[in-house]
Amino acid sequence: FRRLMTLEANAAIDGAFAGGATEVLVNDSHWTMRNLLAEELDPRAELLSGGPKTWSMMEGIERGWDCCAFIGYHARAGTANAILDHTYTSSIHDVRLNGASVGELGLTAARAGRFGVPVVLVSGDQALAAECHALLGDQVRTVVVKEAVSRHAARSVAPEVARNRIRDGMRDAIGRASPSRPFVPTAPVTLEVDWSLTVQADHAAMAPGFERSGPRTVTIRHADYREAFRAFRTMFNLAAG
């Protein structure tokens, strides 16, 4: 599966250059962030691998880019008929950004948006595509490579077909005359995190500035989304204890 993941990254790289890109950075972002096979990655791209990373899935975004794409994403925790629905960790029941429920798609798009970078494409299942259009609008290209039947079952296209869809989608998204707008949450930013267990909220609420706003809910407020996200990362690391 690491090889399949690498080949999908290569498809996105190839599509980006076909659409006119001159530089591509691939940020390995799954789990320990050491999944992609470096020796098989398209040599036109740079690879950012390992962790921890301050900006997690958006590490390197601060260098300045015209756009970004999310390859192999999933729907937020609690989504029905979605493959491996979760938000960063199975300990998180829900996250609300300024009152709206979001998953990794929303949290990551906001991080890119804070640096002025729009999301132009996401790939995953049909539930992720619906989540993307509801949050980011129809300008973002969605590439559906599987239809979820349940959390652990899906009807998928062949790997080669998936790669072709990703390649064509990236080419078209990069070459589009009217790109997507960055997703920038209104400041000040409020992040409310609902944990699966009260003991996780006990741990998460230990840091100064975190508010225990419910039996399983811990809240962060900050004028800058970048700092709110860093606090969120600290929160779920504490909760893991």
Residues designated catalytic: 86
Structure tokens at 208: 């100064």
Strand-pair category, 92-97 with 153-156? unpaired
Q: Rounded to an integer, what distance in angstroms lies between the CA atom of residue 193 and that of residue 216?
A: 8
Q: Which amino acid is at 112?
A: A
Phi/psi of residue 50, nearest 5 degrees = 95, 180
d(CA 109, CA 103): 10
68 near 169, Cβ under 8 Å?
Answer: no
DSSP state of 206: T
Distances from the Cα of 120 to the Cα of 48, 67, 109, 123, 140, angstroms: 20, 6, 10, 11, 5
Which tokens go with 153?
């079952």
